[in-house]
Structure 1
Amino acid sequence: MRQAASLVLAVSLSIPWSVPNAPAQSAAERFFPLEHVRPGLRGIGKTVFEGEAVEEFGVEILGVLPGRPGPKQSIIIARLVGPRLERTRVFAGMSGSPVYIEGRLLGAIAYTFPFATEPIAGITPIQDMMDALDVESSSPTSGPQRSARTTRFTLESATEALSWGRAFRGLLSAEEIAVEPEALMRPSLRPLLGQRLVPIATPLSISGISPEALERFTPELQRFGFFPIAGISAGAAITPLAPITPETLAPGKSVSVQLMRGDLSIEAIGTVTLREGSRIYAFGHRLFNLGGVDMPLSEASTIAIIPSVMSSFKLGVTERLVGTLRQDRSAGVLGVLGEAPRLIPLTLELKKSRGGTHTYRVEMINNGVLTPLLVNLAVFSAITGSERSFGDVTLRVRGAIKIRGHEDVLLDGRFSATNEAPVQAALSVALPVSYLLNSGFDVTLEGIQLEIEALEQRRMGTLDRVWVNRTDVRRGETIELQVYARTEDGREVVERVPIEIPADAPLGRLSIVVGDGNAVQAYDGRQVTASLNAVQSLAQLIRALNRLRKSDRLYVKLIHSSPGAIVKNEELPALPPSVLATIGSERTAGGYHPLPYTTLKEIELPPGEFLITGHRQVSITVVR
């Protein structure tokens, strides 16, 4: 009997709680109608000021702004009353605090007036939140996958890679609502004419991120309504789902939404507006306005409300993982209790230049825009947290991006520069992730594994000349190619490469082209993005990523000046003029790139001690 009771208790703790056999209440019984809102009405609000205890404060309605922030939406303006709020006014982290009138839920405190001298807030009506948030269509991967490729966020340069401003400007706009003169404006709202109503700032607790990384993206997060708080909390640990109880994320309690958790963590803190069974409504305004999402949803405790002349804020700590955020829209967010989020694990092992190894383990959300940025941030932060940001540095990045049902995307590259090596190393991981997640194909990333080795030296050189031991050769014979490079300190480096002439090589003149990956790609006259955009399946995209030439090593190409073409990402050499005319005609749509030569052989040389750049060319003659 005791075992049976224990089993019942365990099962009851593993599912979201609801009140059994409770009579269903209508919306009119649970929610205070917007059309009944009048100036002078009084109610109560709920939020957490300290610890986990929900406290009440007074609310006095001033009026309603119709048609804001969007069509068929409204914002209720109210004055908040209470001794704590007299010190802090409306504070960051208060978003979502529920307001009740006559015991019925009116909505969520979500907006504020910047630099206001008293706590006047905007309330998002609960019906607007529920209309905007639909759990049935909340999955970010629901619906059929697109077969055509989509426009992707590519982080195409080192500057772009850490220009968080451009990324966020493409993602959401700064939301400001002007209080303008209107014929029907209530007298109680007239003192607010000309003021700007903005979403309450969301505290963004950041842990484990290096100061260099914070410096690059904090200003842009502030611009879009986030309030970064660095290095104060212990961060969000990687934990399994906790049991769900009737008190889990009750209205007024603090809630945490994580973008990344583990040794490096970023989490947004807000307040729960409503819990309906396993559904959680919170914030009353958007986080990123991403629509369907898959983010960890956790309980949070409040250390304190920090009063500030500029902006008071809630100092919170993420606690137990209890569910998944499913919707992020303009009127709020929606989470589901008892469901674990699908995250992307990243493991990074950093071999420090001074000896020793650091291992970082994080999990991050799966999103085409934010995940590449988070990968970029995590790699850059791990490097700059242990290695210097300025001065000569050489970094080698090796690893794999694991994809369910497909081969891995392999990562292997070195980056040597005076100041930009960490940026380039982080970019080398973020770019493939961006291409995969924004490909339009059904992609499930199972994890990213990285090994980075650091050296506080710059190891660069320039390709000087190439030489062959014979210029007249026969088919099937092997010649020796000697590659000479000059390092930055003046030393000469020589590499000897045997080249076997193919048995079917055409008679006459052939060329040997030697260069680093970027130089050979430029010699081909085809952009890297062209080969990636021409793929027709995920398998082709993975092959194309794995076949990209690397900038840290030399390539040797044996070519013949007979025209060919690349069709659907495959090189077709030595094509007859009639075939070239057919595939290059106006009736052939896309996937075609002409080549002025045919590649007979290409050799990738193993990476040497130095990163050699440049290209050289030498000719040979195939004789009978």
Structure 2
Amino acid sequence: MTTTRRRGPALVTLTAAATAATGLLLGTTVVAGPATSAEPAGDCTPAFPVAELETGDAVTGLTVTRGTTPEPFAGEVLGIQEDGIGPDLDMVMVEVDMPAVEKAGIWQGMSGSPVYAADGRLIGAVAYGLSFGPSPVAGITPFEDMDDYLAEAPARIRIGKATAARIARATGVTRTQAAQGFRQLPMPVAVSGVRAERLAATEDRPYLPRGAQAAGVGTAAAAGPETLVAGGNMAASLSYGDVTQAGVGTATSVCNGRVVGFGHPMSFEGETTMSLHPASAIYVQEDPVGPGFKVANLGAPVGTVSEDHLTGITGFLGALPRATTITNTTTYQDRTRTGTTMNTVDSAAAGTTYYQIVANHDRVVDALMPGSETLSWTIRGTDVDGSAFELSFDDRYASEYDISGEVGYELSDLVYALTRIEGVSVDSVTSESVVSDDSSTYRVRGVQQKRGGTWIPLGKGERAEAKAGSTLVLRAVLAGAEGLTYVPLTMKVPASAAGMKGRLAVQGGGWMYGGGNITSVAKAEKVVAGMIRNDEVEVELTLDKRRKHVERTKVVGPADRVVLGSKRVRVVVR
């Protein structure tokens, strides 16, 4: 079986506000195809000054509960919370009247839904809900401020007793519930193509978030660029393709190809390079504990999100952001699959690299199983001075529990280091995996020296004896499932080492940690050149005498299996 797929089957929560409800469900159908250009469109509705609003004013709004067509809703202004969102940034409190809101409350994915005054001018975007749980009360980010970039995003907005009492009188919310204040509607970045168990089981890496949650699968048709209108669905993604990392919300305004939405940050990155997508809603899911949430499919990218700030995200239709192409080909038995993801935000590239590898493994291996694997990878990019660079390496891995979860970390670590170097651009990350059911390994059992035609086991009082200026002839004893295997080892002893003593260390490559402080492409090239494969054996000779010090290192292999363990023996030079 040979297939090439570019669709992520499911989305699961990656990161969210501390108050986010568990179990966000998002579906995705995102094709990593060529750049798509959309014609400029929109309403260009002018802003309505918040200072002119009064309690009891009727408002209307637009949002999507199913498909791509915005639906109207009605509402009433409950009041203005001065400085509610930030310094000099007020929050408008509105009670929304809509059947979907009666069932699910103000929901995740409603963020950005435009709210209009009676004269048709744009008041702002739905962005906050009451902290206690589902309710029809929304906090609105003023549109006149949605281009302002403030410094700190509040997790919760406190309100006074009088405001809580006003909300309680006008709605079915109790005064105690209202007094808990408002919180930003959760805007989780969701990951498609990676099982929740995988996300939860990843090792502690700065580029791999913790606490991922399970998700459902969307099946509705993807949306086109013409659906990106005020009140329509919109999404911003860090990557798309096999592994889609995106947040779905609502567009507040579309004017001359410029799109503003969400009414609050997605990741609060400031200047950014996320890709902009339309989306198609399947339905709004109720949640008895927290806000409901929209289940939606993403369309292909149609533009770039360039700003991610306190008052929302801003982007433009047309040109797509520069993307790093991340590809993995996995082969197991008669099955082969190539998966590709386009990563548009450098800080996400390392995580995307790891997720692409593990997602493709799960699709091809299709089981949690022990095994081994050879992995070959190449990173291509551009250095600070504009010159091209290429880093490549081959390695072998083994696991007695789950081979699919064993690989990928070393490559992702290197991608993480490279993307943190200012001025360095990673253009592509390509890897190829060949998986086997055989999980057997070798372990370094001992070291022997040949003396007078006989191999003498070293250790337990027996030391290696060397002659200055000669070659030390040894062999490593590797224990495997079928018995013992011997690996020849030789080490040249310097003529200046006469009378010195020290030690000889024999280590399996799978026993050691490789890496380094990578602050330039040149250092990365040095690190890769010095990396030892997991199936190789390293021999290190260290000799000392007073102020003299000698070190010699040699790498032997590769073997046909991962080599674990280490042995150290004493050495005396005559």
TM-score range, shorter chain: 0.7 to 0.9
C-alpha spacing 1:443/1:485, structure 2 compared with 1 (3 Å):
same
Alpha-carbon contact 2:78-2:94 (below 8 Å) kept: yes
User: How far apart in 2 are the matches of 1:415 and 1:51?
Assistant: 45
487, 490, 498: which one pairs with 1:495? 487
1:7-22 to 2 correspondence within 5 Å?
17=40
1:145 is aligned to: none
1:300-311 to 2 correspondence within 5 Å?
300-310=279-289, 311=291
Letter in 1 for 2:218: I
Matched residue SS, 1:374: helix
User: How far apart in 1 are the matches of 2:447 and 2:166?
Assistant: 85
What TM-score do you get using the length of structure 1 for normalisation? Answer: 0.72
1:20-31 to 2 correspondence within 5 Å?
30-31=46-47
1:97 has 2:142 as partner: no
User: How far apart in 2 are the matches of 1:207 and 1:119?
Assistant: 30
Letter in 1 for 2:376: R
User: How far apart in 2 are the matches of 1:548 and 1:227?
Assistant: 35
C-alpha spacing 1:288/1:540, structure 2 compared with 1 (3 Å):
same
286, 296, 318: which one pairs with 1:316? 296
Matched residue SS, 2:139: strand
Matched residue SS, 2:525: helix
2:352 is aligned to: 374
Kindly state the Cα deviation for residue 273 of structure 1 after the two structures are TM-superposed.
0.6
1:460 is aligned to: 441
C-alpha spacing 1:14/1:378, structure 2 compared with 1 (3 Å):
closer
Alpha-carbon contact 2:129-2:135 (below 8 Å) kept: no
2:206 is aligned to: none
2:507 is aligned to: 515
129, 143, 148: which one pairs with 1:131? 148
User: How far apart in 1 are the matches of 2:570 and 2:112?
Assistant: 70
257, 273, 280: which one pairs with 1:294? 273
Which digits, 9 at most, give the CA deviation of each residue in 1:201-228, with x for residues without a partner? 34766543235325558xxxxx999996
Kindly state the Cα deviation for residue 251 of structure 1 after the two structures are TM-superposed.
1.0
Alpha-carbon contact 1:236-1:261 (below 8 Å) kept: no
Kindly state the Cα deviation for residue 80 of structure 1 after the two structures are TM-superposed.
0.8
Letter in 1 for 2:61: G
1:611 has 2:563 as partner: yes
1:143-542 to 2 correspondence within 5 Å?
175-181=155-161, 187-188=166-167, 191=175, 193-202=178-187, 206-213=191-198, 216=201, 229-233=215-219, 247=226, 249-310=228-289, 311-352=291-332, 354-368=333-347, 370-387=348-365, 390-404=368-382, 405-419=387-401, 421-438=403-420, 440-469=421-450, 471-473=465-467, 475=469, 478-487=471-480, 489=481, 491-500=483-492, 506-509=497-500, 512-517=504-509, 531-532=516-517, 535=519, 537-542=520-525
Letter in 2 for 1:492: L
Matched residue SS, 1:380: helix
User: How far apart in 2 are the matches of 1:327 and 1:321?
Assistant: 16
User: How far apart in 2 are the matches of 1:406 and 1:613?
Assistant: 38
Matched residue SS, 2:354: helix
What TM-score do you get using the length of structure 2 for normalisation? Answer: 0.78
Kindly state the Cα deviation for residue 604 of structure 1 after the two structures are TM-superposed.
4.2
Letter in 1 for 2:361: I
User: How far apart in 2 are the matches of 1:427 and 1:225?
Assistant: 19
Alpha-carbon contact 2:329-2:360 (below 8 Å) kept: no
Alpha-carbon contact 2:130-2:178 (below 8 Å) kept: no
Kindly state the Cα deviation for residue 95 of structure 1 after the two structures are TM-superposed.
0.7
C-alpha spacing 1:305/1:277, structure 2 compared with 1 (3 Å):
same
Letter in 2 for 1:210: R
1:40 has 2:23 as partner: no
Kindly state the Cα deviation for residue 283 of structure 1 after the two structures are TM-superposed.
0.5
1:107 has 2:130 as partner: no
1:146 is aligned to: none
Matched residue SS, 1:230: coil
Matched residue SS, 2:148: helix
Alpha-carbon contact 1:410-1:546 (below 8 Å) kept: no
Kindly state the Cα deviation for residue 325 of structure 1 after the two structures are TM-superposed.
0.9
Matched residue SS, 1:434: helix
Matched residue SS, 2:406: helix
Kindly state the Cα deviation for residue 33 of structure 1 after the two structures are TM-superposed.
1.0
Which digits, 9 at most, give the CA deviation of each residue in 1:332-352, with x for residues without a partner? 111122121112111111121
User: How far apart in 1 are the matches of 2:154 and 2:328?
Assistant: 34
C-alpha spacing 1:498/1:346, structure 2 compared with 1 (3 Å):
same
Matched residue SS, 2:218: coil
Matched residue SS, 1:469: strand
1:79 has 2:95 as partner: yes
Alpha-carbon contact 2:282-2:295 (below 8 Å) kept: yes
Aligned length: 507
Matched residue SS, 1:480: strand
User: How far apart in 1 are the matches of 2:238 and 2:542?
Assistant: 49
Kindly state the Cα deviation for residue 424 of structure 1 after the two structures are TM-superposed.
3.3
Which digits, 9 at most, give the CA deviation of each residue in 1:588-619, with x for residues without a partner? xxxxxxxx943244334324334232133353
Alpha-carbon contact 1:555-1:604 (below 8 Å) kept: yes
User: How far apart in 1 are the matches of 2:345 and 2:112?
Assistant: 25
Alpha-carbon contact 1:173-1:224 (below 8 Å) kept: no
C-alpha spacing 1:289/1:236, structure 2 compared with 1 (3 Å):
farther
Kindly state the Cα deviation for residue 505 of structure 1 after the two structures are TM-superposed.
5.5
C-alpha spacing 1:133/1:417, structure 2 compared with 1 (3 Å):
same
C-alpha spacing 1:277/1:388, structure 2 compared with 1 (3 Å):
closer
Which digits, 9 at most, give the CA deviation of each residue in 1:413-462, with x for residues without a partner? 33323335433313222211111122x33221111111122223332232
User: How far apart in 2 are the matches of 1:173 and 1:516?
Assistant: 49
Identity %: 22
Matched residue SS, 1:339: coil
User: How far apart in 2 are the matches of 1:367 and 1:288?
Assistant: 14
Q: Which runs of 5+ in 1 are unaligned?
A: 1-12, 135-171, 218-222, 522-527, 564-576, 578-595
Letter in 2 for 1:280: V
Kindly state the Cα deviation for residue 116 of structure 1 after the two structures are TM-superposed.
4.7
C-alpha RMSD of matched pairs (Å): 3.6
2:454 is aligned to: none
Letter in 1 for 2:563: L
C-alpha spacing 1:253/1:227, structure 2 compared with 1 (3 Å):
farther
C-alpha spacing 1:227/1:209, structure 2 compared with 1 (3 Å):
closer
1:543-582 to 2 correspondence within 5 Å?
543-561=526-544
User: How far apart in 1 are the matches of 2:530 and 2:301?
Assistant: 40
Letter in 2 for 1:230: G
Letter in 1 for 2:40: W
Which digits, 9 at most, give the CA deviation of each residue in 1:179-203, with x for residues without a partner? 3436x87734673542242222347
C-alpha spacing 1:225/1:618, structure 2 compared with 1 (3 Å):
closer
2:15 is aligned to: none
Kindly state the Cα deviation for residue 499 of structure 1 after the two structures are TM-superposed.
4.0
Which digits, 9 at most, give the CA deviation of each residue in 1:308-362, with x for residues without a partner? 545433222222421011112222111122121112111111121x432222111
Matched residue SS, 1:430: helix
Higher relative contact order (CA 8 A, sep 6+): 2
Matched residue SS, 1:619: strand
User: How far apart in 1 are the matches of 2:340 and 2:409?
Assistant: 19
1:69 is aligned to: 85
Which digits, 9 at most, give the CA deviation of each residue in 1:105-153, with x for residues without a partner? 111001112565642111111123211289xxxxxxxxxxxxxxxxxxx
